[in-house]
């Protein structure tokens, strides 16, 4: 039998006793990531906004893996309050978090500000993941060795980060905001790694990755001919979601990535991200501006 394209990501590492949090875990690649981690023996916390989809995803994972240690927890990335509630509940109920996979992603959203005064596509694809990671970081640190995986996109190569305008409504197309958000995910990865090193924090590794095209319904928010055309192309040319799920799991569990924190990956190998990633003034500025925009309080701010 011919090996799939990501055969280099295959690993037999077991993770019994570990706790993994996966966002966007009720369908597509996120669901396959959760199944993969469950097969390895992890306790998996599924995060999504739909109770119905969470219940269906849990049942699917249990049936596919035999692992019943699967927890569902509501979280809506369009609400910073919902993210904070999720983080608080996780910290209160989970003695440890060893793996955080920020898998959420959406394109074709309305160009508007959310109730948190953030541009919707930027909040769903970047600000929410930043806030969740920031809030869970103390628990990830106490659980070390632990890993954070930020799912970006090849679209990041088309992104820009203008700190004076990157939260503006009406400045970019829907896809433009998505590109900017996925670039911000990479820069956030670089900056949190730099800050951990500067503070002497060891044992927490963070990676960004491009999942490549996969057979999904990714363009569902566009509707009409755009949705039909691009989703048909994904189903025709994209990789199977269970194959694509290998890379984030590989980064999350395999010992070969120790010492490679802060890097960007594609197809099981380190991959070019963007020249922006080497601009330490920009990544630091993005970090501070993001903290301001998501309203990190003094009680939440572990950097103090």
Q: Which of 126, 172, 177, 178 is catalytic?
A: 178
> Are the CB atoms for 59 and 165 separated by under 8 Å?
no
C-alpha triplet 91, 93, 95: angle, nearest 5°: 70
Strands of the 264-266 sheet, one edge to the other: 70-74, 43-48, 19-23, 99-102, 146-151, 204-210, 264-266, 269-270
Number of neighbours of residue 85 by Cβ within 10 angstroms: 15
91: tokens are 């910290």
- Dihedral-angle region of residue 174 (phi above 0 means left; psi in -120 to 50 means alpha; beta otherwise): alpha
**178 catalytic per annotation:** yes
Per DSSP, helices labelled H in the chain are 28-39, 51-65, 80-93, 120-122, 128-142, 174-199, 224-237, 241-244, 246-253, 280-293
Neighbouring residues of 59: CB distance < 8 A, sequence distance ≥ 6: none
User: What residues are paired with 215 via a beta bridge?
Assistant: none
Neighbouring residues of 198: CB distance < 8 A, sequence distance ≥ 6: none
Q: What are the residue numbers of the active site? A: 178
């Amino acid at each position: 039998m011919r090996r799939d394209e990501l055969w280099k990501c295959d690993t037999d590492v077991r993770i019994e006793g570990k706790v993994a949090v996966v966002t966007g875990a009720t369908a597509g690649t996120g669901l396959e990531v959760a199944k993969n981690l469950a097969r390895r023996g992890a306790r998996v916390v599924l995060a999504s906004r739909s109770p119905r989809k969470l219940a269906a995803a849990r049942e699917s994972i249990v049936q596919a893996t035999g692992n019943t240690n699967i927890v569902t927890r509501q979280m809506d990335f369009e609400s910073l309050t919902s993210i904070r509630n999720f983080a608080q509940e996780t910290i209160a109920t989970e003695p440890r978090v060893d793996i955080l996979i920020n898998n959420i992603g959406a394109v074709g959203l309305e160009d508007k500000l959310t109730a948190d005064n953030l541009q919707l596509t930027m909040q769903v694809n970047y600000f929410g993941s930043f806030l969740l990671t920031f809030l869970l970081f103390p628990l990830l640190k106490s659980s070390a060795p632990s890993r954070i995986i930020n799912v970006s996109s090849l679209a990041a190569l088309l992104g820009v980060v203008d700190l004076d305008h990157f939260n503006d409504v009406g400045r970019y197309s829907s896809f433009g905001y998505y590109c900017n958000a996925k670039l911000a995910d990479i820069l956030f990865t670089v900056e949190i790694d730099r800050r951990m090193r500067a503070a002497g924090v060891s044992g927490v590794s963070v990676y960004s990755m491009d999942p490549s095209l996969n057979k999904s319904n990714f363009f569902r928010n566009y509707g009409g001919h755009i949705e039909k055309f691009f989703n048909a192309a994904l189903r025709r040319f994209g990789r199977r979601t269970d194959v694509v799920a290998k890379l984030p799991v590989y980064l999350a569990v395999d010992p070969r990535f120790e010492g490679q924190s802060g890097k960007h990956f594609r197809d099981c190998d380190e991959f070019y991200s963007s020249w922006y990633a080497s601009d330490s003034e920009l990544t630091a500025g993005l970090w501070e501006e993001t903290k301001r925009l998501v309203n990190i309080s003094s009680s939440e701010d572990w950097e103090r």
